[in-house]
Amino acid sequence: MTNFANITAAVIGTGFIGTVHLQALRRLGVQVKGVLGSSPERSAERASALGVPHAYGSIEELVADETVDVVHVTSPNHAHYAQVMALLGAGKHVICEKPLAMTSAESAEMVNMARQSGKVAAVCYNIRFYPLNQQAHGMVKAGELGDIRLVTGHYHQDWLAKETDWNWRLVAEQGGALRSVGDIGTHWADLTSFVTGLKAEAVMAELATFIPERQKPVGPVETFSSSAGATETVEIDTDDAAMIVIRYENGARGVMSTSQINVGRKNSLQWDVAGSKASAAWNSETPDHMFVGHRDKPNETLMRDFTLMNDTGVAAASLPPGHVEGFADTFFNFFRAVYTDVAAGGRQDTSTWATFEDGDYEMRFCDAVVLSARENRWVRLDEIGG
């Protein structure tokens, strides 16, 4: 593995996911110089708690720091565009949390800026880096499933199932017009596109808000944490759940649902890909096993085992068979791939991490979903202008 000790990083965002990024970087051996929080006070507090040398007081200070090579953007969605554009303009490599932007118009500009900068620009679709998703990508590419016909599945959670549950993603001005689709649905759209090699051509969508009013705490609330104390009633217009039918470019069809109110489903992403020769299916709650279906011989369950996997799957694995690779490991595997390209001076032909072009596709997917739900019709992605 490449020695990353000479690469210096900083992290924007000091909540749950920013901390996950920081921990994975330390495991990788990358020097993390500092963090930038929502305020200078928050930056100082979290830098001290996380044992980081420097607390940035502003994005301007971070942009001007010539000692930082790579910046991880884990701030709320509405901040991505301005922060990423400033960082790329300053010649820094960027890893941005999903979704890439608030709209496809913003993401298109970010793609152009990334190309002009010549820097590594990645979107944090970490779920690609469960090794068996890389395995499935390799299987489809090798023709083992045949022509892809049907892609089905869901991404369901329950962390916003109560009216007292609160997070900034509930507010359209901060998270975007779509919530369950923009937050977790783009993970499913990206992952299935990566596995199958197919892009959506058109979508038909219905959105649902089952909890139209929620109790917002007066103070701040970190993602996935519980809060207590005084609240205020806030009207909600973002989607608790969505049902989406997809037409793919090759004529295949897809059906997906998203939900953040499915009680008991903590973090369940499932996909099932049916091809003309075989099928495959995977569930994030049992990430070290993949179903492979056959017509004329017994079905299989492939355990993540580098002695049985293809080269693409093996390249993403970091632990021996039987030692479950989980959520935190996907960030390690993802960052290892991205930082290898940073060290090499650019994205390599064999790289499998999500680019800003991929992030722009997901934003056009989201904008098409919004338009479809609003107008109750099929919407082609090429109707969405960047």
pLDDT band at 214 (very low <50, low <70, confident <90, very high): very high
Output the CA angle 270-275-276, nearest 5 degrees.
160
Residue 221: pLDDT over 90: no
Q: What is the mean pLDDT of residues 93-121?
A: 97
- Mean pLDDT, the chain, rounded, equals 95
Residue 374 CB neighbour total at 10 angstroms: 12
pLDDT recorded at residue 227: 54
pLDDT recorded at residue 228: 60
Q: What is the mean pLDDT of residues 344-355?
A: 96
pLDDT recorded at residue 226: 53
130-317+362-373: CATH homologous superfamily? Dihydrodipicolinate Reductase; domain 2 (3.30.360.10)
pLDDT recorded at residue 230: 87
pLDDT recorded at residue 3: 84
Strands 213-217 and 279-283: unpaired
H or E segment and range at residue 153: strand 148-156
Q: Tell me the C-alpha distance between 63 and 87, whole Å.
A: 6
Residue 224: pLDDT over 90: no
- Low-confidence winner among 78-87, 214-223, 234-243, 377-386 (lowest mean pLDDT): 214-223
Contact 280, 286 (CB under 8 A): no
Which has the closest alpha carbon to 317: 328, 327, 305, 308? Answer: 305
Share of the chain above pLDDT 90, in %: 95
The count of residues in the chain is 386
pLDDT recorded at residue 385: 74
pLDDT recorded at residue 220: 66
pLDDT recorded at residue 386: 53
pLDDT band at 218 (very low <50, low <70, confident <90, very high): confident
pLDDT band at 127 (very low <50, low <70, confident <90, very high): very high
